[in-house]
Chains A and B, each alone.
Chain A
Amino acid sequence: MPIINHASSASVVIDDDKCIAEKGCTVCVDVCPLDILAIDETRKKAFMKYDECWYCMPCEVDCPTNAVKVNIPYLLR
């Protein structure tokens, strides 16, 4: 069967102005237990790639520039 993609709102939000992924930082991507964050290779910024967040918050707490905000996913907010 062909596969279609769902859309959903990203609960983990990255402030592009603060994110320093272009300098090689991958801290938020490294610490995520569910591996749901990634670096956008064209924009060189981190982003939430998969809607599989446990809202545990190491990405936010460990970010050296406070660029990450973890919101509670809408379904359970």
Chain B
Amino acid sequence: MSSAFPNTEIVDADILVIGGGTGGPMAAIRAKEANPGLKVVLMEKANVKRSGAISMGMDGLNNAIVPGHATPEQYVKEITVANDGIVHQKAVMAYAEGSYDMIQFLNSLGVKFEKDGSGEYNMRKVHHMGTYVLPMPEGHNVKKVLYRQLRRLQVAITNRYMATRLLKGPDGAIAGAIGVNTRTSAFLLVRAKAVILACGAAGRLGLPTSGYMFGTYENAANCGDGYAMAYHAGAELANLECYQINPLIKDYNGPSCAYVTGPFGGYTANNQGNRFIECDYWSGQMMLEFWRELQGGNGPVFLKMDHLAEETISEIETILHTNERPSRGRFHEKRGNDYRQRPVEMHISEIGFCSGHSASGVWVDENARTTIPGLYAVGDMASVPHNYMLGAFVNGGIAGKDAADYCAQHDLPLFDEGQVVTEQARVLAPTLREDGYTPAEMEFKTRRMVNDYLEPPKITAKMEIAQRRFAEIRDDLPGLCARDPHELLRALEMQTILDCADMAAAASLYRTESRWGFYHLRADYPETNNDDWFCHTMLYKDELGRMSHRKREIDPYIVPIADEEMNAYHQLRIQEPIAAE
């Protein structure tokens, strides 16, 4: 349908899903299964066939709750402890209870998991307390399996549209979203009763130390669009100061994958070849020990595998070099890295927001609902901590089903035409200039400042300087110039990144204590302060457009944790160094 707005197509739908990576497709699938009569539109910035964090597949489930190996209660306890108590347990439990059914569902669709001789799932222990890792040595088919289902269920897919702002109705409920084509700059306005955000992490926030802007841990397309859209719509975002920071192969953006190698006998070692952490599961406490080892003169830190048998190393190579990051082997080849010969150097990644690995996300409850009626968030960008790929699937499914119910009770809302006019002007502004600053240089500068001033250990004076630098960059936005639709895509992403940088600084300044190990290590407030800060921190845009904060009480636990258990993740450093095997 053409419209009153120039170069704009308007589509009416029941549910709009934004993001076609992992959680988004599953939300669409479950919504259509719940009610095949619903019109579900899936808007994707890239191409659903190969988009998102699992573009090439995945080499394992990091949080599988399989009967006989773990219970949902044990998992909720583990994540509560790993996340220093700051969790909405009901949401973690909703994930945990849906975990096994989702594994079975994926298995029935053709996703292959590792099984033992008797056909049972071959679980591995990586976490500090329980057993939750299920390898997927043939996990390269995940995206194909999802795509087949989307086609079968007739989900309407619009590739190469970047959603830029959410639309709201007169009553404050969600009303749809506006997107812009990344190749033509034409607009697509989708009116919808419910919107599910599944835009992935804010992974293009910090700058990799290589200086290569797209060498990020996360798929570089996942630059925080969902965080920025939710913020501008007035949704609350939770615990953003609990950054994502990962132990990666030095210069390469892949994890060294102690999850994969650990169960085979590989481990993280210092420059003496000694273990220094008891558990390789990614947590802020583990990253703190990693950072201390680097600071203390025992670095670099390495992934050690050269003590393993040839057949074990070959198996590890097959898993690591063919699934999630297949270019890893190519990187090692150029560096002369051979797992058999010498340990692989590791380093600390750039910072980002990602609940998939930490806890920084748009606030959602156990039904994946945000604080805006009709708006859902799932996957890496939603606030359920340590959720990983399987969490994106489960919570995507929860959102899809709940959104289908929501649609049955609501009519298609009106939207604010003035908002559309304003947004289209904002989007197109960089195309109206002949010259100015390029998206690449404005993005690079923003992200360089993120590295200089926002990385932990976080220092108040530095973060305040960051805020001044970001404000100066914002003042330069009227000079941002995009010469073609591709540059416009990058110009819009650059503004998203700047929004996320501002949120990272503000959220980190608000919580005046240290928590989550390295993720929120504040030099001026080195202690954890449970009296004042045992709470969620919520960041939101107030009525006057200011970035604001409030505390949110933690709901009473449904799985109680004893005090002595609460400290389990604070004892990750090996007390007496053990000689290398």
Contact assessment for B220 and A54 in the assembled complex, using a CB-CB cutoff below 8 Å:
yes
User: A3 within 8 Å of B by Cβ?
Assistant: yes
User: B260 within 8 Å of A by Cβ?
Assistant: no
Which of chain A's residues has its CB closest to B335's CB? A77
Contact assessment for B251 and A54 in the assembled complex, using a CB-CB cutoff below 8 Å:
no
Contacts A1-B436, A2-B435, A58-B50: A50 and B486 contacting too (C-beta < 8 A)?
A: yes
Stretch at the interface among B106-114, B167-175, B204-212, B376-384: B204-212
Instruction: Name A77's contact: one of B213, B216, B331, B490 (CB within 8 Å).
Output: B331
Which of chain A's residues has its CB closest to B332's CB? A72
Minimum distance in angstroms from A60 CB to a CB of chain B? 9
Which of chain B's residues has its CB closest to A59's CB? B50
Instruction: Name B46's contact: one of A34, A49, A61, A76 (CB within 8 Å).
Output: A34
User: B47 within 8 Å of A by Cβ?
Assistant: yes
Which of chain A's residues has its CB closest to B325's CB? A56
Q: How far is the CA of A57 from the CA of B334 in the complex (A)?
A: 17
User: Which residues on the B side are within 8 Å of A70 (C-beta)?
Assistant: 327, 330
Minimum distance in angstroms from B441 CB to a CB of chain A? 10
Contact assessment for B327 and A30 in the assembled complex, using a CB-CB cutoff below 8 Å:
no
User: Which residues on the A side are within 8 Å of B125 (C-beta)?
Assistant: none
Contact assessment for A73 and B212 in the assembled complex, using a CB-CB cutoff below 8 Å:
yes
Contacts A31-B49, A73-B212, A77-B334: A56 and B219 contacting too (C-beta < 8 A)?
A: yes
Contacts A55-B327, A58-B56: A73 and B46 contacting too (C-beta < 8 A)?
A: no
Contacts A3-B435, A72-B334, A77-B331: A52 and B56 contacting too (C-beta < 8 A)?
A: no
Digitize B37-63: 1 where CB-to-A-CB distance is under 8 Å, 0 elsewhere.
000000000110111100110000000
User: Which residues on the A side are within 8 Å of B212 (C-beta)?
Assistant: 73, 75-76
User: Which residues on the B side are within 8 Å of A3 (C-beta)?
Assistant: 435-436, 438, 481, 483
User: B474 within 8 Å of A by Cβ?
Assistant: no
User: Which residues on the B side are within 8 Å of A34 (C-beta)?
Assistant: 46, 214, 220-221
Which of chain B's residues has its CB closest to A73's CB? B212
Q: How far is the CA of A14 from the CA of B395 in the complex (A)?
A: 40
Which of chain B's residues has its CB closest to A6's CB? B440
Contact assessment for B213 and A56 in the assembled complex, using a CB-CB cutoff below 8 Å:
no
Contacts A33-B46, A35-B489, A72-B327: A54 and B216 contacting too (C-beta < 8 A)?
A: yes
User: B182 within 8 Å of A by Cβ?
Assistant: yes
Q: How far is the CA of A33 from the CA of B22 in the complex (A)?
A: 14
User: Which residues on the B side are within 8 Å of A1 (C-beta)?
Assistant: 435-437, 479
Count chain A CB atoms within 10 A of each CB in B182, B212, B253, B486 and give the residue with the most: B212
Q: How far is the CA of A53 from the CA of B508 in the complex (A)?
A: 31
Q: Count residues of chain A with CB under 8 A from any CB of chain B.
A: 27
Q: Count residues of chain B with CB under 8 A from any CB of chain A.
A: 42
User: A32 within 8 Å of B by Cβ?
Assistant: yes
User: A66 within 8 Å of B by Cβ?
Assistant: no
Contact assessment for B55 and A56 in the assembled complex, using a CB-CB cutoff below 8 Å:
yes
User: A71 within 8 Å of B by Cβ?
Assistant: yes
Contact assessment for A54 and B219 in the assembled complex, using a CB-CB cutoff below 8 Å:
yes
User: Which residues on the A side are within 8 Å of B151 (C-beta)?
Assistant: none
User: Which residues on the B side are within 8 Å of A40 (C-beta)?
Assistant: none
Which of chain A's residues has its CB closest to B324's CB? A56
User: B326 within 8 Å of A by Cβ?
Assistant: yes
User: B183 within 8 Å of A by Cβ?
Assistant: yes
Contact assessment for A52 and B213 in the assembled complex, using a CB-CB cutoff below 8 Å:
yes
Contact assessment for B327 and A57 in the assembled complex, using a CB-CB cutoff below 8 Å:
yes
User: Which residues on the A side are within 8 Å of B214 (C-beta)?
Assistant: 34, 52-54, 73
Instruction: Name B55's contact: one of A33, A72, A77 (CB within 8 Å).
Output: A33
Which of chain B's residues has its CB closest to A53's CB? B214
Contact assessment for A30 and B49 in the assembled complex, using a CB-CB cutoff below 8 Å:
yes
User: Which residues on the B side are within 8 Å of A75 (C-beta)?
Assistant: 210-212, 215
- In the complex, which residues 2-39 of chain A have their Cβ closer than 8 Å to any Cβ of chain B? 2-3, 30-35
User: B363 within 8 Å of A by Cβ?
Assistant: no
User: B252 within 8 Å of A by Cβ?
Assistant: yes
Which of chain B's residues has its CB closest to A54's CB? B220
Q: How far is the CA of A76 from the CA of B217 in the complex (A)?
A: 13
Instruction: Name B56's contact: one of A32, A57, A73, A77 (CB within 8 Å).
Output: A57
Instruction: Name B326's contact: one of A31, A57, A73, A77 (CB within 8 Å).
Output: A57
User: B160 within 8 Å of A by Cβ?
Assistant: yes
Contacts A53-B214, A56-B219, A61-B56: A31 and B327 contacting too (C-beta < 8 A)?
A: no
Contact assessment for A72 and B46 in the assembled complex, using a CB-CB cutoff below 8 Å:
no
Q: How far is the CA of A72 from the CA of B479 in the complex (A)?
A: 33
User: Which residues on the A side are within 8 Å of B49 (C-beta)?
Assistant: 30-31, 58
Minimum distance in angstroms from A52 CB to a CB of chain B? 5
Which of chain A's residues has its CB closest to B160's CB? A35
Q: How far is the CA of A50 from the CA of B482 in the complex (A)?
A: 14
- In the complex, which residues 100-136 of chain B have their Cβ closer than 8 Å to any Cβ of chain A? none
User: Which residues on the B side are within 8 Å of A30 (C-beta)?
Assistant: 47, 49
Instruction: Name A71's contact: one of B182, B215, B326, B330 (CB within 8 Å).
Output: B330
User: Which residues on the B side are within 8 Å of A35 (C-beta)?
Assistant: 46, 160, 182-183, 486, 489
Minimum distance in angstroms from B334 CB to a CB of chain A? 5
Count chain B CB atoms within 10 A of each CB in A1, A3, A31, A50 and give the residue with the most: A3
Count chain B CB atoms within 10 A of each CB in A33, A49, A75 and give the residue with the most: A33
Q: How far is the CA of A53 from the CA of B325 in the complex (A)?
A: 13
User: Which residues on the A side are within 8 Å of B51 (C-beta)?
Assistant: 33
Q: How far is the CA of A56 from the CA of B56 in the complex (A)?
A: 7
20 contacts between A and B (CB under 8 A): A1-B435, A2-B435, A3-B435, A3-B436, A34-B214, A34-B221, A35-B160, A52-B214, A54-B55, A54-B214, A54-B215, A55-B327, A57-B326, A58-B55, A58-B56, A72-B252, A73-B214, A75-B211, A76-B210, A76-B212
Known: A31-B50, A34-B220, A72-B327. 9 other contacts (CB 8 A): A2-B435, A33-B52, A35-B46, A52-B214, A54-B55, A56-B50, A56-B56, A75-B211, A77-B335
5 closest A-B pairs by beta carbon, nearest first, are A76-B210, A58-B50, A31-B50, A33-B46, A75-B212
| B residues with CB within 8 A of A | 46-47, 49-52, 55-56, 160, 182-183, 208, 210-216, 219-221, 251-253, 325-327, 330-331, 334-335, 435-438, 479, 481, 483, 486, 489-490
